[in-house]
Structure 1
Amino acid sequence: MHINKQLMCHLKKYKLLLITVYIVCSLAQILELIPVYIFGTIVDFIIKGNFIEVKKRVIYLIIIFILFNSLNIIETLLTVRLRNRITNDIKEKIVKKIFKLQMQDFNEIKDGQIITTLENDSSVISSFITDDIPNMLISTITIIISLFLILKLSLNLSIIALVMIPISMITSYVIGKFVKKYTIKGREMSDNYSSFVQEFLTKFKEIRCLSIQNIVFRTYNKSINNIADNVMKTSMTNTVSNLMSSLLTSVTEWIIIIYGAWLIINKYLTVGTYVAFNSYLSKFSTSLQQIFTYNIHVQALKVSLIRINNLFEYTEEEYNKLGEKQKIEGEIILKDISFSFKKNKTPVLNNLNLIIPKNSFYVIVGTNGSGKTTLLNILIRLYRQTEGSILVDNNPIDDINLRYLRENIIYIQQDSHLFNISIKENLSILNKNSSMTKIIEVCKLVGIHSYIDSLPNKYDSIIGKKGINLSGGQKSRLIIARALLKNPKIMLFDEITSELDAQSEMDIMEILKNLSRNHTILMVAHRINAILAAQKIIVMDKGSIVGFGTHNKLISNCENYKNLFLNQINDIEQKII
């Protein structure tokens, strides 16, 4: 999308409010210019000794003052309201777009880029619309009126002032190029900085345990120093721009003072006219300087529009696309499924064929990087298979409405999040219509109700940041309870018991076995308790299914499974020793 068209998209929605703001700004600016002329006439009337005319013009000044400040208040209120609306609107569009991104595209974007686009770029656009455009309009009006009046007051002095304009224009254009370059570089640095800060806060515990604070700090220090250097270059560029403008303005003023004094002494110009001319020239020069400065703001705007436009060019998930909404029973069939993250890359999944009956409990095992988690991601359609087809109850998964599919399939990951809100709010977050009776029923089913009921505030107890007030087993039970309140037919679990002690893991496995009477359970696991609890075990290696069946069958016939199982036994023995 061309940046001018993109800017117009943001302008159209608030057309009436924008027009109102611009009209109020224009009227206020016209009123602000009138007193300059009145002051000039007052000077001449004082010299002539006409006190009556002086009093009249002071009354005019009072009226203009009241009108101007009334318009100024209205303008401020409207501008703040408009800026907030536009900023929130842009942020809302960005967040909606992010939620619709395909997973492969989302993985390519740095977290810091999303944050700076959301916070900085949206503010740049809204500020340009609500501040820079009105200011440019005001400056333009001031230039036109001031130019007309200085030409009318003294043609000779005006010619001197106008000679400097081309030099100012060239200076502004050249400096604007440098500002754009540093702005692009600065935004990229901000992206990297935000990503880094987010990463080290997320991995804070691990950084301490590994004792690599100094390494992380050096990386952080290098990042902020790079940003500081770029800010310095940008500031120096702006300083040079302001210095050049100030120099040109000052030279013009010095020449006009000398020539103006000669005109007054020789009776070619009155003192009042000279005062008015100087005042209008000052407004003309200031406004012209601001117009040139806006070129720098335009360069920053272009960078922000391009960055947002780049985000919106990513392909979206077909979340609301019409598709099948037949009742899902829970059978899953994989036919010749292959998948790679990028074209012409080595497949992560290779020719998978599998039937998972409804109301069953299957576990996927395999070494790291064998494709276990990727398979779950494809079943929930975070990614789409490169080849083959997936059937849910004999319906191709690609033909099922995506929203409906995810309402009936839930994916619980190893690091599933609990929010720092009450237990009740956490449980009902996937289904706002959950009654208290249903919440208690589900919590009893997963064996967490007794603990919650023992708390002083019961279901209104605050969980704490990332569920810090709960044990690992309690977190897992709550996460499963939350999933059940959504009432999905298919439940996908990814290593949810990997951090639990043996007894807690056995308890969770018993819960999942009971759930499989009415739900299809597919779980990625590597520990013995989880493996032995399953009805059937799927063994994966290097993206392929290399074994399938019960534990007894696989321990005899599948070398990969046998090695995985024996490694688990050895790990347990080592811990006991």
Structure 2
Amino acid sequence: MGYLIKLVKMARPYWKYLIVSGISMLAITALNLLGPWLVRDLTGIITNISKYPNAKRMIINISLILILSYILRIVFQFLNSYLSHYAAWNLVAHVRTLVYSKLQQLSFGYFVDKQTGQLMSRVVNDTANFEVLIAHAVPDLFTNSLIILGVACILFIINPVLAALSLIPIPFLVLSGTVFAKKILPNFREAQKALADLNADLQDNLSGIREIQIFNKQEKELLKIKEKIYRHINALLSALKLSAVFHPTVSFLSSVGTVIVVSVGGLMALSGKVPVQDIVGFILYLSMFYQPVTQLSQVIENVQQALAGAERVFEILQTESEIKEKENAQKLKNVQGKITFENVSFSYNPEVQVLKNISFEIQPGQMVAFVGPTGVGKTTIMYLLNRFYDPDSGVIKIDDIDIKDVTLKSLHDNISMVMQDVFLFNGTVAQNIAYGKEDATMDEIIQAAKIACAHDFIQNLPQGYDTVIGERGVKLSGGQKQRLAIARAVLKNAPILILDEATSSVDTETEKEIQEAINNLAGTRTILIIAHRLTTVKKADKIIVLKDGEIVEMGTHEELFAKKGLYYHLCSVQLIDENDSLIREV
């Protein structure tokens, strides 16, 4: 009920449509109740025609009222059906928007153990069940309740004894419905989870289809997907098995009630205790009385399926982001680019500390490189600067302002980042470059591409800057994707530029061109570089060397090379002599 109440509150903008739909349902119910009563009156006229001198006129009037009721029922059925669906699908769209918006607000830590396909399933599949709940289950429950109440009143008006007898199966129907609801919900939960797992594996496999083919894993992956498909199907079949038992049980109990009324009512009619028209009317109303009761199973099934999805949707909506803005957070303005880390420590999990007491200061316009073996925390420093995570201890400042005191939007507006794992959207080259600056002119896009040494290869593409590059830039080489990412970061023109292995996928000649472009940017903004290929960092104003999450050396290339410490060792591995000439890379 808690989830149902939350959904009803979310549907507040569409209440007017639901109210009109509800009024239409009331009208439909009233019209449905009118039909059997008119048939009862008609039966009374025909069986006692001598008592009605104007019987012909009465029959014609009853016929006219019936046809009018049928016409009105069509109108109200249209209003009920369309408006309830209109409200329901708009609610689905609203909730999907809320869930996606919430996902965008959650910190990086939330996505570490989540699969994209699972989250997509919650946004699309689980929310779709709300339409069934709002447009079908709840209206059906409301309508059926009205019909049961209305018919019960009429039955007692016609004959209290027969009405009391017709209620005998009701306790058994309620009991079976309660048991059914408790049994079926776990099956729908499992079905929703299995569907999410299936979507997750499909998304992974379609993204990695080339690797599957290269390593000849088609059969293995097919078996894995097949297993997930049948896990989902079996969970649904378990729920349907319960439905297959419950539906006939409800029908049988309803039939027992009808048998009781027919037998007792027939005997009462024979003895003259009940008029024939009352028996006819009673039987007609009795079918209306048990019909909504028999539909209870389908309503319960729809409700349980929707609530199983609601649990998974509200789990996201109720998740608190690990990264929170202060209520009075200020905007980061007129950034010069000074960066300060003061005794910063961080761990992704309590067992392993990634950074230990990291302290350094970068002046505006400096180019600073971070080097060291893989896994020492270089990229983590960049994540902390962007506030993708918060440090366990210590303070991070930009222009002497704690980044926890500023809005996340203004923080990210002032930082451009080219990550090692480049992500490009399925759009044109120009759209991807201009992603960080929506109002960019074509001249600005081309200039950024030239700085990133991407202009020449873009011109050779089939449609130049209007070439669609495919999902994740699948139509481009690794080096081409990285240069587009650099162009995108350059065009954003933020005062802080982060290059995380930005030249790792380019050849030596292109690397030199990009390095020259980066050198041209030196002094115009603060540049932070992470690189394993040390030729990229030789001209940095400062090089920070990390080992086991700690800063072990800091200085210029010449200073660190002369110390013959870890940096010297890293250079020696790549065979760079003290005159800075590259002999070869290993």
Return the TM-score normalized by structure 2: 0.90
Give the CA RMSD over aligned residues.
2.7
Which residue in 1 is equivalent to 2:248? 243
Which residue in 2 is equivalent to 1:357? 363
Which residue in 2 is equivalent to 1:415? 421
Q: Which of the numbers 370, 376, 380 marks the counterpart of 1:374?
A: 380
Q: In the TM superposition, what whole-angstrom CA distance separates every residue of 1:175-225 from its partner, at most 9, and x where no partner exists?
A: 111112222222232332222222222222223333333332332222222
Question: Is the counterpart of residue 547 in structure 1 residue 547 in structure 2?
Answer: no
Which residue in 1 is equivalent to 2:52? none
Question: Partners in 1 of 2:574 and 2:371 — Cα distance?
Answer: 12
Which residue in 2 is equivalent to 1:390? 396
Which residue in 2 is equivalent to 1:221? 226
2:374 aligned counterpart, secondary structure? coil
2:295 aligned counterpart, secondary structure? helix
Q: Which of the numbers 345, 357, 360 marks the counterpart of 1:338?
A: 345
Letter of the 1:87 counterpart: V
- Which deviates more from structure 2 when the two are superposed, residues 26-35 or residues 270-279? 270-279
Map 1:422-571 → 2, pairs under 5 A: 422-453=428-459, 457-532=463-538, 534-557=540-563, 559-568=565-574
Work out whether residues 102 and 315 of structure 1, in 8 Å CA contact, stay in contact via their aligned partners in 2: no
2:226 aligned counterpart, secondary structure? helix
Which residue in 1 is equivalent to 2:216? 211
Q: In the TM superposition, what whole-angstrom CA distance separates every residue of 1:87-140 from its partner, at most 9, and x where no partner exists?
A: 111111111111111222333444344223212332233432232222111111
Which residue in 1 is equivalent to 2:286? 281
Which residue in 2 is equivalent to 1:186? 191
Inter-CA distance 231–419: structure 2 relative to 1 (3 Å threshold): same
Which residue in 2 is equivalent to 1:28? 28
Return the TM-score normalized by structure 1: 0.92
**Post-superposition offset of 1:372:** 1.5
Work out whether residues 369 and 543 of structure 2, in 8 Å CA contact, stay in contact via their aligned partners in 1: yes
**Post-superposition offset of 1:305:** 3.5
Inter-CA distance 398–75: structure 2 relative to 1 (3 Å threshold): same
Question: Partners in 1 of 2:575 and 2:46 — Cα distance?
Answer: 105
Q: In the TM superposition, what whole-angstrom CA distance separates every residue of 1:529-572 from its partner, at most 9, and x where no partner exists?
A: 324454433222221122223334434535433443444459x9
Q: Which of the numbers 180, 196, 201 marks the counterpart of 2:201?
A: 196
Letter of the 1:30 counterpart: A
Identity among equivalent positions (%) equals 26
**Post-superposition offset of 1:36:** 1.9
- Which deviates more from structure 2 when the two are superposed, residues 166-175 or residues 436-445? 436-445
Q: In the TM superposition, what whole-angstrom CA distance separates every residue of 1:288-340 from its partner, at most 9, and x where no partner exists?
A: 23346534444444433433333233223435852242311112121111001
Map 1:39-188 → 2, pairs under 5 A: 39-48=39-48, 50-188=55-193
Question: Partners in 1 of 2:191 and 2:573 — Cα distance?
Answer: 50
Work out whether residues 349 and 544 of structure 1, in 8 Å CA contact, stay in contact via their aligned partners in 2: yes
Which residue in 2 is equivalent to 1:12? 12
**Post-superposition offset of 1:456:** 5.8
Question: Partners in 2 of 1:506 and 1:227 — Cα distance?
Answer: 53
Q: In the TM superposition, what whole-angstrom CA distance separates every residue of 1:65-96 from its partner, at most 9, and x where no partner exists?
A: 11111111122221222112111111111111
Work out whether residues 453 and 459 of structure 1, in 8 Å CA contact, stay in contact via their aligned partners in 2: yes
**Post-superposition offset of 1:421:** 1.7
Letter of the 1:355 counterpart: E
Work out whether residues 426 and 470 of structure 2, in 8 Å CA contact, stay in contact via their aligned partners in 1: yes
Letter of the 1:382 counterpart: F
Work out whether residues 453 and 514 of structure 2, in 8 Å CA contact, stay in contact via their aligned partners in 1: no
Work out whether residues 334 and 353 of structure 1, in 8 Å CA contact, stay in contact via their aligned partners in 2: yes
Inter-CA distance 491–164: structure 2 relative to 1 (3 Å threshold): same
Question: Partners in 2 of 1:313 and 1:327 — Cα distance?
Answer: 36
Runs of 4+ in 1 over 6 A off after TM superposition: 572-576
- Which deviates more from structure 2 when the two are superposed, residues 181-190 or residues 21-30? 181-190
Inter-CA distance 54–543: structure 2 relative to 1 (3 Å threshold): same
Inter-CA distance 164–558: structure 2 relative to 1 (3 Å threshold): farther
1:163 aligned counterpart, secondary structure? coil
**Post-superposition offset of 1:425:** 2.0
1:168 aligned counterpart, secondary structure? helix
Work out whether residues 157 and 260 of structure 1, in 8 Å CA contact, stay in contact via their aligned partners in 2: yes
Question: Partners in 2 of 1:573 and 1:487 — Cα distance?
Answer: 35
Letter of the 1:484 counterpart: V
State the number of aligned residues: 574
Inter-CA distance 568–281: structure 2 relative to 1 (3 Å threshold): farther
Letter of the 1:545 counterpart: I
Question: Partners in 2 of 1:333 and 1:575 — Cα distance?
Answer: 33
Letter of the 1:27 counterpart: A
Inter-CA distance 339–575: structure 2 relative to 1 (3 Å threshold): closer
